[in-house]
Amino acid sequence: MDQHILVPIDGSEQASNALKYTLTHHSGEEIIIFHVINPTDMTPYVGMDGGRVANYKEVHSQRQEQAEQLLAEAKEQADENDVPVSTEFQTGDTNRAIVEFAEKHEIDHIIIGSHGRSGVSRILLGSVAEKVARRSPVPVTIVR
């Protein structure tokens, strides 16, 4: 029975490691590469034109383009390894979006990269991987 595996990516080295692990160890499974655009990362900013502030729609559009590029690069990596994958992205709170996607799409396993925070930053910020592992209805593999 083929498993449905969700691999959340964010462009980090740790996410890349999780994808490599998945492509190597789960090549016969149905793999979905997933990216979440977090709205808290889309605060308006000062533009390059010397003070113009970009609005939410502009920033969201840019984040969508970045997500599409990130997923296209991940798909290329999978293609190079002759592993078929599908890609998805959505906007939302990162850890919630991952868990909700897994619940709604009959995901059997989540493989996610760990950012390896330690000390105060781990206590204050936690980690998406840790939150997903605690809330997930399916097994989670955290790759360093």
State the total domains in the chain. 1
Q: What is the pTM of this model?
A: 0.87
Predicted local distance difference test score (pLDDT) of residue 60? 85
Mean pLDDT of 82-107: 97
Predicted local distance difference test score (pLDDT) of residue 144? 86
CATH number of 104's domain: 3.40.50.620
101: containing domain: 4-143
What is the average pLDDT value for the chain, to the nearest integer? 87
pLDDT band at 124 (very low <50, low <70, confident <90, very high): very low
Cα(55)–Cα(34) distance, rounded to whole angstroms? 26
Cα(86)–Cα(62) distance, rounded to whole angstroms? 22
The four Cα atoms 112, 115, 118, 122 give a dihedral, to 10 degrees, of -70
